[in-house]
Structure 1
Amino acid sequence: MVKEHHHTEKTPAEVQDRLWELAEKIDICMFTTWDGERQRSRPLSARVFRDEHAIHFLVDQEGHKNEQVEAFPYVSMAWVDSGGHKYAVVSGKAKLSNDRAKIAELWSDWDKAWWDDASDPAIRLLTVTPEDGELWDSPNQLVSTAKMAMAAVTGKAPDMGDNAKVKL
């Protein structure tokens, strides 16, 4: 029997920390968009910047996900560490840009599989601002959910809620 919504002793701040930590450590996520009719998912390498309250991706200018993000900006990202039974799901609002300086800053050897170098004009920056998160930190148990709003950026006090829901 799978126990749903089992909550842990983690504080809201610890849930926040763990979501950011897993996203950064696992790297590749399944990135899911909506095309107006159905969900579409694909693996993408996440560049996680908690201090910017942002998760960045380098994507090609060609690709259905770009049109989907522009029409329906709410996306979800799922990271899986299957060996350790750890799962993090984060949703938020995505925005596509052609920020060449940020693209150059994020460039890594990994990206050479798709483009020659950071100056390739086909590269676009996809940035997600996280809003909500869910964390499974042990087998089959939803450990906690988190409200991932901009408290760190806006300075507003977190709304703790009843359920270890937190603003990030």
Structure 2
Amino acid sequence: MKERQDDNAKPPEEVRERIWELADKIDICMFTTWDGEQQHSRPLSARVRKDEHSIYFLVDQSGEKNGQIDRFPKVSCAWADNGDYKYVLIGGTAVLTNDRARIAELFTKADEAWWEDKNHPTIRLLTVTPERGELWDSPGKAVALVKMVKAVVTGDAPKMGDNAKVAL
């Protein structure tokens, strides 16, 4: 993948760091799979582990996404912080396992909304190994609004912040 950055943008390694940081901070992502005919997205809580170069999700053994991942393991994860105009997209390869030790380690109190406890037999571990990322990183809502107003007045497209694609 060709890394792309806007003029005066951050170097690729800084973009990579920011992608990991925002994905971890935002938490809930739209997890997108492919069924051979169309895409399917659903919100999932991400456990982002940059030091392991992995993103983990606890999911149920049932659900159409599991079969889609088996057939088409390339997935996308999109995070959005609309309040601050910060967005991250990570694409990679997903695999579904029944790693009970890792499930127990990642299980949180919030997961009790879906399962009784970390030992619930239907919990599965979904692991994404990131391969590429894209970042849209605005300086914040107030600055973005000023830039949009200026664009309307001048007729020029607003420069909304960093946008870059990098290999992960």
Q: TM-score, normalised by structure 2?
A: 0.83
Q: How far off is 1:110 after superposition? A: 1.0
Aligned partners of 2:10 and 2:162 also within 8 Å = no
In structure 2, the partner of 1:76 is 76
In structure 2, the partner of 1:35 is 35
Q: Secondary structure at the match of 1:84?
A: coil
CA–CA distance in structure 2, aligned partners of residues 95 and 68 of structure 1: 11
Q: How does 1:45-84 map to 2 (within 5 A)?
A: 45-84=45-84
Q: Secondary structure at the match of 2:115?
A: coil
Aligned partners of 2:27 and 2:46 also within 8 Å = yes
Larger Rg: 2
Q: How far off is 1:31 after superposition? A: 0.2
Q: Secondary structure at the match of 2:36?
A: coil
* Alignment length (residue pairs): 144
Q: How far off is 1:12 after superposition? A: 1.1
In structure 1, the partner of 2:135 is 135
CA displacement 1:42-87 (0-9 Å, x = unmatched): 0000000011100000000000000000100000000000000000
The 1:9–1:126 alpha-carbon spacing in structure 2 relative to 1, beyond 3 Å, is same
Q: How far off is 1:9 after superposition? A: 2.5
In structure 2, the partner of 1:145 is 165
CA–CA distance in structure 1, aligned partners of residues 83 and 17 of structure 2: 20
Q: How far off is 1:142 after superposition? A: 5.7
Aligned partners of 1:134 and 1:142 also within 8 Å = no
Q: TM-score, normalised by structure 1?
A: 0.83
CA–CA distance in structure 2, aligned partners of residues 7 and 111 of structure 1: 42
In structure 1, the partner of 2:124 is 124
- Aligned residues: CA RMSD: 1.2
Q: How far off is 1:8 after superposition? A: 4.2
Overall identity of the aligned pairs, in %: 60
The 1:129–1:10 alpha-carbon spacing in structure 2 relative to 1, beyond 3 Å, is same
Structure 2 stretches of 5 or more lacking a match?
A: 139-143, 145-159
Aligned partners of 2:9 and 2:162 also within 8 Å = no
Q: How far off is 1:13 after superposition? A: 1.1
The 1:7–1:40 alpha-carbon spacing in structure 2 relative to 1, beyond 3 Å, is farther
Structure 1 stretches of 5 or more lacking a match?
A: 149-168
1:22 matches 2:22:
yes
Q: Secondary structure at the match of 2:79?
A: strand
Q: How does 1:149-160 map to 2 (within 5 A)?
A: none
What stretches of structure 1 move > 3 A for 4+ residues in a row?
Answer: 5-8, 139-142
The 1:125–1:144 alpha-carbon spacing in structure 2 relative to 1, beyond 3 Å, is same
